[in-house]
């Protein structure tokens, strides 16, 4: 793989992960909710999980009707949906597209007035998924998606829910190494309540709160044959995990305990809401 000098600079400065995923750090509230879910995961109520079909809304927000300005095609959206369904089928989730909106607004398309955009476009309930495909995100990342919480309907955090995705990362997009739709898969993982595999670095007590993802110092760049950034901890880096940031061709899986966490978090925080 050809590696650009700009990406090498990002890795050297420690900002590579932020350039890929713009998610904020987990809030204290989410940490409390996560501990509550952890306490319930082993109970009988969480031992079975009926497959869930998530009602999904796509919002294409571009600065003009040109594909180069963010106007993702219907075929690309269909391909993106298929990538999402393939990745989450083993987890027990499927995504059914209910509606697609198309909006030409140069400010929104470049990440401006996020809340104004979402108040205008957001549809459905908290158990549904809104995805906004933008020409550019405000932080110049490839995607971001707020973690689940307990917001009241109509409040800013309720409306803010949903994933913002850089339009060039969809299948057939123009962003080299990240144009197979895996950015959306990764961000939906945050929507479901799981962290980056490198959350907490090499800490064996914090980390991503998932016991079957080995400790990882920082995000993976490219698709190395093997990587062990925490040699004092057991296991190689989970470079093939959807919640790392390696190339799209490199990421292929969630672990069993990530699966369990997503199922439990959805049941606890989104189902029926």
**Bridging pattern class, strands 163-166 and 143-144:** antiparallel
Q: Is 103 exposed, middle or buried (0-12, 13-18, 19+ CB in 10 A)?
A: middle
Compute the distance between CA of residue 230 and CA of residue 94 in angstroms, rounded to an integer. Answer: 34
Residue 187 a catalytic site member: yes
How many Cβ atoms are within 10 Å of 108's Cβ, its own excluded? 24
Given 3-state DSSP classes, what are the helix, strand and coil percentages for the chain, each rounded to the nearest 5?
35, 15, 50
> Which one-letter DSSP state was computed for residue 99?
E
Q: Which helix (H) or strand (E) holds 163?
A: strand 163-166
Contact assessment for residue 247 and residue 186, using Cβ atoms and an 8 Å cutoff: no
Sign of CA dihedral 157, 140, 221, 68: positive
Angstrom distance (rounded) from CA 196 to CA 190: 8
Bridge pairing between strands 129-134 and 93-104: unpaired
Q: Tell me the C-alpha distance between 146 and 130, whole Å.
A: 11
Q: Which of 31, 187, 233, 253 is catalytic?
A: 187
Region at 101 (left for phi over 0; alpha for psi -120 to 50; beta for the rest): beta
Q: Provide the annotated active-site residues.
A: 187
């Amino acid at each position: 793989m050809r590696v650009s000098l700009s990406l090498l600079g990002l890795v050297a400065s420690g900002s590579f992960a932020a350039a890929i995923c713009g998610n904020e750090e987990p809030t204290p509230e989410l940490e409390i909710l996560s501990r509550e879910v952890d306490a319930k995961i082993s109970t009988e109520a969480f031992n079975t999980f009926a497959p869930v079909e998530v009602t999904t809304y796509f919002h294409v927000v571009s600065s003009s009707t040109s594909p180069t300005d963010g106007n993702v095609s219907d075929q690309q959206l269909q391909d993106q949906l298929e990538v999402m369904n393939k990745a989450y089928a083993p987890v027990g989730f499927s995504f059914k597209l209910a509606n697609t909106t198309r909006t030409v607004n140069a400010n929104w398309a470049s990440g401006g007035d996020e809340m104004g955009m979402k108040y205008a476009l957001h549809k459905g309930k908290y158990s549904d998924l809104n995805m906004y495909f933008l020409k550019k995100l405000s932080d110049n990342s490839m995607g971001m998606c707020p973690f689940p919480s307990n917001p009241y309907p109509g409040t800013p955090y309720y409306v803010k829910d949903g994933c913002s995705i850089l339009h060039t990362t969809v299948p057939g997009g123009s962003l080299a190494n990240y144009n197979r739709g895996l950015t959306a898969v990764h961000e939906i993982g945050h929507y479901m309540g799981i962290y980056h595999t490198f959350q907490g670095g090499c800490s064996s007590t914090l980390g991503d709160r998932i016991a079957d993802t080995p400790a990882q110092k920082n995000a993976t760049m490219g698709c190395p044959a093997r990587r062990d950034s925490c040699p004092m901890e057991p296991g190689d880096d989970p470079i093939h995990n959807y919640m790392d940031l390696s190339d799209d061709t490199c990421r292929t899986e969630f672990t069993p305990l990530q699966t369990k966490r997503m199922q439990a978090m959805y049941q606890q925080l989104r189902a029926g809401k």
